Amino acid sequence: MAERPKDYSYFHDYAWAAAQNEGVDPAVFVRQIDLESGFDPNALSPAGAVGIAQIVPEFHPEVDPYDPEASLRYAARLMREYLDHFDGDYAKALAAYNCGRGRVDRGVRRYGDRWWLILPEETRRYLRVILYGN
């Protein structure tokens, strides 16, 4: 017998609310979390990212990545910080979430408007899926 699909609708709604609370576009944030983990609070990546928001504990020790609600609030707050840092630019904020703010800052300094040239292909794909659905 096939396993029933898990119902993560509660986390979807919680992510939407967390984004709204931080002034982050909730539709973008929900797509981001869906791509990060499929809303699975137990998701693990080969790169060491943990939980629903795929937080790397080494870089974010202040949040429990196994607590989905805390992780979603933290991720929404982090996106708000990145959006503030990058003057509301969602592509740069999302790239920073995926591959690190330092890398995006270096890309902006080195390449200006072509900042994305410094991004790994995984991050470029991440942006395409979240922002353009492909």
Tally: H helices and E strands in the chain: 6, 0
Q: What is the CATH number of domain 9-132?
A: 1.10.530.10
pLDDT tens digits, one per residue of 2-42: 444 467 889 999 999 999 999 999 999 999 999 999 999 99
Q: Assess contact for 30 and 38: CB atoms under 8 A.
A: no
* Residue 134's pLDDT band (cuts 50, 70, 90): confident
Catalytic residues: 36
Give the count of alpha carbons within 13 A of 3, CB side only: 3
Residue 93, token pair as written in the block: 């904020």
Q: Is the pTM of this model over 0.85?
A: yes
Residue range 48-77: mean pLDDT, rounded: 96
